[in-house]
Structure 1
């Protein structure tokens, strides 16, 4: 079965290093929390809001320790622009092969991105 694992974070400025570091921290928590190996991943989509263009957050996955991360297909794209939506935001949709049920997937939100899905943030640790 494939399942989507959601994650999101924000940065405080349009800075490549901050974008990559915040993405790296987020992805590490997503894979640790859900016990994901690179060989479990079908693909990863990363979107950024229009105010972030200093770099590709996908670089964060290439910096992870261990074999296989350079083989994971990753694509960055622009998030749709909705009036009043969260700014300086990086969203991740990681599609993984897993035996876990939909209810057992732990989605991860950092910084201001916790506002996106407070219902999922509250689920963590239950």
Structure 2
């Protein structure tokens, strides 16, 4: 079956190091909590708020071994009052786990985005 896994992390600052560290933590948590390997991942869409421009979030996934996984980055719409410095992901994965067992991961300040499903 194909499932979508969501996640987000609030980045400490708009620096290359902070973006890579935050996204590395997010991707690692998504993979571990859902017991996935890169072979299970079909594709990942990363978005970032317009205030994050120092690095592509997908680079963190490449550094984690997502070499043959299609990745793309996009910008979130600039909504007034939105939580700043957030990277979101939606990973499409192959898994036998039922939808209700998928662990969506929201880290740091991004837990406020989805209190209903944040782990």
2:106 to 106, 109, 124: 109
* Pairing of 1:80-95 with structure 2 (within 5 A): 80-95=77-92
The corresponding residue for 1:96 is 93
Unmatched 5+ stretches in structure 2: none
* Distance in 2 between residues matched to 1:100 and 1:39, nearest whole Å: 15
Aligned pair count reads 119
Unmatched 5+ stretches in structure 1: none
Q: Which runs of 4+ in 1 moved over 6 A?
A: none
Instruction: Provide the alpha-carbon RMSD of the alignment.
Output: 1.0
TM-score normalised over the length of structure 1: 0.91
TM-score normalised over the length of structure 2: 0.96
